[in-house]
Amino acid sequence: MVVHAIIVAAGKGLRAAGDGPKQFQLLGSKPLYQWSLEAFETHPAVQQIALVVPSDRYEYFASKHQSERIKIIAGGRKRTTSVRAGLKALDARSNHIVMIHDAARPGLDATMISSLIDTLSDADAAAPALPLADALKRLDGDSIRSITRDDLYRVQTPQAFYYGKIQAALETTSESFVDDLAAIEASGGKIRLVQGDERLSKVTWPDDLNRMEKILRSETLSPRIGTGFDVHAFGPGDHVTLCGLKVAHSKGLIGHSDADVAWHTLTDAILGALALGDIGDHFPPSDKNWKGAESSLFLKHASDLAYQAGYLIANCDITLICEQPKIGPHREAMRETTARLLALPLSSISVKATTTERLGFTGRGEGIAAQAACMLVPK
């Protein structure tokens, strides 16, 4: 099945305030219209895309996006005029499918495109729609009357048609329609609604951009990975602190804080995943505040930063490198203290240990080294 798309981005869209029309404002890392453009571009059935932009921005968009597959079209004053211009520009046959979509609805995905294609096997037109959840009232002067909402739907886009049918429906009249489905309604065609999606809600008001950014946040972020490495030398003492746990030993670890080499390493792995520097940047050794500090403070700080940036820790893997003390007997307890501090399931935390076969500084028992990897996923 050959599919074409028209993205209508020619509106003034001034209700969303900000800089210029809403469809060109940034949502996450890219302008609003680009979310829809990429959804169509990456769908294998979509052959050609007409992006209809305001006529005074034509040159800019033509230089940025024009290609074999993407046609930049100067739109008209009314939405229906812009849609007509888009239809005219496509190299489509009457039995091809065309999807007409508002640039101000950024949450389009391949599943929705495919579902609309399937639905057209049995209809002249198809569109996503959601039932109304709020009570509806009609305000008439001073009187308010309830309206039953049972059969009422919010219809979204993309709206899908056979090219020949929508072109004919729009050609036979100079009327302007509230949406493209209305043209098929007027011509008596068969329409089917598919389950809509809140992510396809229209960005109209100033708050909508923020709300949509939250909904789509997981899509603006990619998983991230970080690694850490740290070494502390042995000094006088009767225990070492590893993963917040005091392990009896004939020596202690030297450090400005409690010298918890395992948690320092993990802190660095999380900061590394966020590209936010290292533990020394956040807690300078020159700062007296951190003298003798518990390393739980450092690790918690890094995990809070990850959370604030929109991430959850998927898993982490710590390797301790030393001859003594033996880590094995404490390994499970170390996983537990780490999981508890980070509020993660035990299955997300791995603690391993190795020796270096008596080679190097760890082999000579001069200190403990640790390395860690950590994966962050959008929450």
Q: Could you list the residues that contact Mg ion (CB under 5 A)? A: 230, 264
The residue among 167 and 265 lying less far from Mg ion, judged by its C-beta, is 265
Nearest residue to Mg ion, by Cβ distance, number only:
264
The residue among 102 and 230 lying less far from Mg ion, judged by its C-beta, is 230
Buried b (16+ CB within 10 A) or exposed e, 86-121: bbebbebeeebbbbbbbbbbbbbbeebbeebbebbe
Minimum distance from residue 276 beta carbon to Mg ion (Å): 17
Minimum distance from residue 12 beta carbon to Mg ion (Å): 57
Minimum distance from residue 21 beta carbon to Mg ion (Å): 52
The residue among 6 and 299 lying less far from Mg ion, judged by its C-beta, is 299
How far is Cα 59 from Cα 55, in angstroms, rounded to an integer?
8
Tokens at residue 80, please?
């229906």
In 10 A of CB 61, how many CB atoms?
Answer: 20
The residue among 180 and 268 lying less far from Mg ion, judged by its C-beta, is 268
Minimum distance from residue 359 beta carbon to Mg ion (Å): 22
Minimum distance from residue 105 beta carbon to Mg ion (Å): 49
Mention every residue, 6+ apart, whose C-beta is less than 8 A from residue 71. Answer: 48, 49, 50, 51, 89, 90
DSSP 202: -
Minimum distance from residue 262 beta carbon to Mg ion (Å): 10
Long-range contacts for 168-176 (Cβ within 8 Å, ≥24 apart)? Answer: 170/80, 170/83, 170/84, 170/87, 175/80, 176/78, 176/79, 176/80, 176/81
Burial degree of 36 (CB within 10 A; 0-12, 13-18, 19+): buried
Mention every residue, 6+ apart, whose C-beta is less than 8 A from residue 231. Answer: 261, 361, 367, 368, 369, 370
Minimum distance from residue 261 beta carbon to Mg ion (Å): 6
Calculate ∠ Cα 300-305-308, nearest 5°.
125
Instruction: Give the phi and the psi of residue 374 in degrees, each rounded to 5.
Output: -145, 135
The residue among 184 and 242 lying less far from Mg ion, judged by its C-beta, is 242
The residue among 148 and 286 lying less far from Mg ion, judged by its C-beta, is 286
The residue among 101 and 264 lying less far from Mg ion, judged by its C-beta, is 264
Q: Report yes or no: 11 and 56 within 8 Å, Cβ to Cβ.
A: no
The residue among 299 and 306 lying less far from Mg ion, judged by its C-beta, is 299
Alpha helix positions (H), 216-366: 217-220, 261-273, 279-282, 296-308, 331-342, 360-363
Minimum distance from residue 251 beta carbon to Mg ion (Å): 16
Minimum distance from residue 317 beta carbon to Mg ion (Å): 18
The residue among 39 and 372 lying less far from Mg ion, judged by its C-beta, is 372
Buried b (16+ CB within 10 A) or exposed e, 219-255: eebeebebebbbbbebeeeeebbbbbbebebebbbeb
